[in-house]
Amino acid sequence: MTTQTPVADDAARLAAFEARIAADESIEPKDWMPERYRSQLIRMMSQHAHSEVVGMLPEGNWITRAPSLRRKMILLAKVQDEGGHGLYIYCGTETLGVDRQELVQQLLDGKAKYSSIFNYPTLSWADIGAIGWLVDGAAIVNQTMLAKASYGPYARAMVRICKEENFHKKQGYEFMVTLARGTPAQKAMAQESLNRWWWPSLMMFGPHDADSPNSDELKKWGVKRKSNDELRQRFVNLTIAQVKAIDLTVPDPDLRYDEASGDWITGPIDWDEFWRVVKGHGPCNSERLGARRKAHDEGRWVRDAAMAYAEKQQRNNRETTERQQ
Amino acid sequence: MYADAETSWPLWEVFTQGTDGAPHQHAGSLHATSAEHALQNARDVYARRNEAVNLWVVPSAAITGSTPEDMGPFFDPAHDKAYRHPQFYKVPKGVKVF
Ligand SMILES: [Fe+2]
Ligand SMILES: [Fe+2]
């Protein structure tokens, strides 16, 4: 009798899995996958979901102070979308066998990462335009790539999200166009905001390829299709034209156009600042976590009430059925 | 640990019908306490931009799916029945429009 050992069995499965990735097949929840693929996806997807949720906070800061009903409606709709994005991705992550409650808990415990960009404060109204334009603009570049990720539920969530992000970016740019073409004070406000958000937006793509430990593995498994630097370059090339069109400037004296590649080459990124913020020492890290915890605590009675109501309804339905019998 | 562990609300799968007459398609999932609650959440999460004219919500636990291991044997019977397709049949050359 020839029985395969578990090790040989796993090696065969891994080979089959890698062949599927190579053939651009979509990996679905019940398919066999290496534990490392599963754990890397849980890490990446939950960080992404947390970022959507924490991302509501800097913009939420300005909802009550929006200067017109039009802008207020737009901002409310955008922030609501971000909550939805969090939900799509949490649900996608749950298909990997982890409970959303567990992931939310990690965020509240301060054990989970989320995008560092949301640890910067929104100091002026112009920041709301800059975020939509730059932060959502950078997110689209990244998420368009992830819409082709090898894990089906993640890719499908990204397709849905990208459609909505286009509204986020467009409204942000229109907002900046309005300010840049407004009074000198409005234009100055737009420029000041761009100055503060430019570099953190470039940092959103993560460390340079050489310093990005998870990238190779994610690329090998078809989760990421492009490297951090490739995506960052694409974002810079797209954005510089938009900056010029509204007669603003990016705060980078070294910025130059490279004829040969057709790329806009930026000066060096301050990675010390990046790591400071990632490690929890950004301007708003504790404020963001505090706000999430407060919202979680203050929402508890709503969750409890909804549960109690559902239980009561079920009890009533049972009693009605019993009476009828 | 920051907060007390809470039990999650049950999981529901959401199906949206995009336009009148179209089939319902799986859109995603969400947590809710009851079917009614799931429908309201599904509207807010999966139909904010007229993506649906009708919604279904189904408890995830109620769905039975075929397994990936079934792939071969389960769908095998369909593999060798070319005669179920119109391309299998030849018509005389003169017949242009069938
Ligand atoms: Fe988003
Ligand atoms: Fe967005």
A20 touches chain B (CB under 8 A): no
**B97 domain residue, yes or no:** no
Print pLDDT tens along chain B (98 aa).
444 446 788 999 999 999 999 999 999 999 999 999 999 999 999 999 999 999 999 999 999 988 877 777 888 888 889 999 999 999 998 888 76
State the total domains in chain B. 1
> Could B5 and A28 be called an inter-chain contact, meaning their C-beta atoms sit closer than 8 Å?
no
CA A278 to chain centre: 15
In a domain, B3, yes or no: no
Mutate to test the interface with A, among B29, B36, B44, B46 (most CBs of A within 10 A): B29
- Residue B39's domain comprises 11-62+72-88
ipTM metric = 0.85
Q: Which residues pair with B50 in a beta bridge?
A: none
Q: Residue A240 belongs to a domain with what CATH number? A: 1.20.1260.10
Please give the pLDDT value at position B6.
62
Closest CA to A151 of A248, A34, A230, A266: A34
- pLDDT tier for residue A29 given thresholds of 50, 70 and 90: very high
The answer to whether residue A325 is domain-embedded is no
| Residue A201 is assigned to a structural domain of this protein | yes
Would you say residue B42 lies in a domain? Answer: yes
Which CATH number does the domain housing residue B45 bear? 3.10.20.520
Q: What pLDDT, in 10s, does the model give residues A153-201?
A: 999 999 999 999 999 999 999 999 999 999 999 999 999 999 999 999 9
Average confidence (pLDDT) over A278-283: 90
- Cβ–Cβ gap A306/B37 under 8 Å: yes
Within 8 A of B2 by CB-CB distance, chain A residues are 105, 108-110, 293
Number of compact structural domains in chain A: 1
In a domain, B94, yes or no: no
Q: Do A30 and B67 touch (CB under 8 A)?
A: yes
* Residues A255/A266, Cβ–Cβ less than 8 Å: yes
Chain B contact for A159, CB < 8 A? no
| Cα(A128)–Cα(A243) distance, integer angstroms | 16
| Residue B78 is assigned to a structural domain of this protein | yes
CB distance A204 to A135 below 8 Å: yes
Would residue B21 count as lying in a domain? yes
The answer as to whether B56 is a domain residue is: yes
Q: What's the distance, Cα to Cα, between the start and end of chain A in Å?
A: 59
Two structure tokens written together for A145: 């790539």
Residues of B at the A interface (Cβ-Cβ below 8 Å)? 1-3, 5-9, 11, 28-31, 33-34, 37, 44-45, 48-49, 65, 67-68
Burial class (CB in 10 A: 0-12, 13-18, 19+), A192: middle
pLDDT at A1 over 50: no
- The boundaries of the domain holding residue A131 are 6-283
Nearest chain A residue to B51 by CA distance is A160
DSSP A22: H
DSSP type of residue A183 = -
Which chain A residue shows the shortest CA-CA distance from B10?
Answer: A307
In a domain, B84, yes or no: yes
**Is residue A93 classed exposed, middle or buried when 0-12, 13-18 and 19+ CB atoms within 10 A define those classes?**
buried
